[in-house]
Amino acid sequence: MDMTANSRRKALKARLNSGEIVVAPGIFDMISVRLADTMNFDCLYMTGFGTVASYLGEPDAGIATYTDMINRVTAFCAAATTPLVCDADTGYGGLLNMAHTIRGYERAGAAGIQIEDQEFPKKCGHTPGRRVIPIADMVKKIQVASDAREDKDFQIIARTDARTTLGLDEALRRGEAYAKAGADVVFIESPETVEELETIGKSFDMPLLVNVVEGGRTPQLTPAELQELGFSIAIYPSAGFLSVARALENVYGEIKALKGTTGAEANMMPFKAMCELMGFQAVWDFDKAHAE
């Protein structure tokens, strides 16, 4: 069923507070959006790493601008009926920029936004070199974000990267402050043990997000195990683009070796299915109805 942006936000908010974990795959381009949107997820997650990589061919290191990302947010939200949570890095500037980013993402149709407390230029949360801004500065950003949204069901996810450089206690302290400032969901990035995940889950009485990065810093647990630990949403930002990259590497290697693609069809989506996914049926129906 197609839903309005407001109804998608209400649906996501209700699921986040239901006690049953939300599993959100990472989407990063229009094919991944359209495919994931057919699979009845409760939420999709626009990954910054994957989107910057696919759209700009650059690392997730503060290179993408607000203009780059709002372009993608708008396109992704227009193509999906599933609620989207979209990465907004540090808000792309100061407090005025943060308010502008919130309004832009909301008007584009996002159900939620993720903002983080890193210094600019930011880094991917599972790579080295991250530094965080003073806690008071991030609190003010969250307050501005909360005030700027027009729809109070628009979910503000506040992420702290303090665990890696300042320790778990500081990350928990920041998470508590961000919740008081108006965040709807707290995101403690890159905990490194199951015990740390358990501590995070016990420290908050509100929706919590966990970032599942294959090969990253955080232990790999099942959604059921993460729910048991107290998490409300598990995002899988890298699963899609890592899988696509390996699949492309394999088929391009076969072509380079002059083997062609004979026998490789079993590992490919059928051409007809791709046409259906991309909406060609509507084009054919239009042509049939209007072509002379």
Walk along the chain (292 residues) in steps of 10 and give the mean pLDDT of each run: 84 97 99 98 98 96 95 98 97 97 98 94 63 96 98 98 95 98 98 98 98 94 98 98 97 90 89 96 94 72
165 with 282, same domain: the answer is: no
Residues 6+ apart with CB under 8 A from 81: 1, 2, 3, 8, 37
Residues in the chain: 292
Cα Rg, the chain, nearest whole Å: 20
Query: Is residue 162 included in any domain, yes or no?
Result: yes
Going by C-beta distance under 8 Å and a sequence separation of 6 or more, which residues neighbour residue 111?
5, 8, 9, 11, 12, 43, 83, 84, 85, 154, 155
| 167 inside domain | yes
Token pair recorded at residue 22: 């939300």
Could you tell me the CA-to-CA distances from 244 to 27, 75, 161 in Å, in that order?
Answer: 11, 20, 27
What CATH number has the domain bearing residue 100? 3.20.20.60
The total number of structural domains in the chain stands at 2
Are 240 and 268 in a shared domain? Answer: no
Domain co-membership, 211 together with 289: no
Residue 251 lies in a domain: no
Q: What is the pLDDT of residue 230?
A: 98
Residue-level pLDDT at 124: 62
Q: Is the CA virtual torsion 188, 190, 196, 197 positive or negative?
A: positive
Residue 44 lies in a domain: yes
Q: What is the pLDDT of residue 130?
A: 77
Q: Looking at the DSSP assignment, which residues form a beta bridge with residue 84? A: 44
Mode of pairing for the β-strands spanning 208-211 and 233-236: parallel
- The per-residue pLDDT for 259 is 84
Beta partners for 113?
86, 156
Do 63 and 56 form a contact (C-beta atoms < 8 A)? yes
Tokens 């232990």 found at:
219
Contact 175/138 with Cβ under 8 angstroms? Answer: no
What is residue 1's predicted lDDT score, i.e. its pLDDT? Answer: 40
Q: Which domain holds residue 49?
A: 5-244
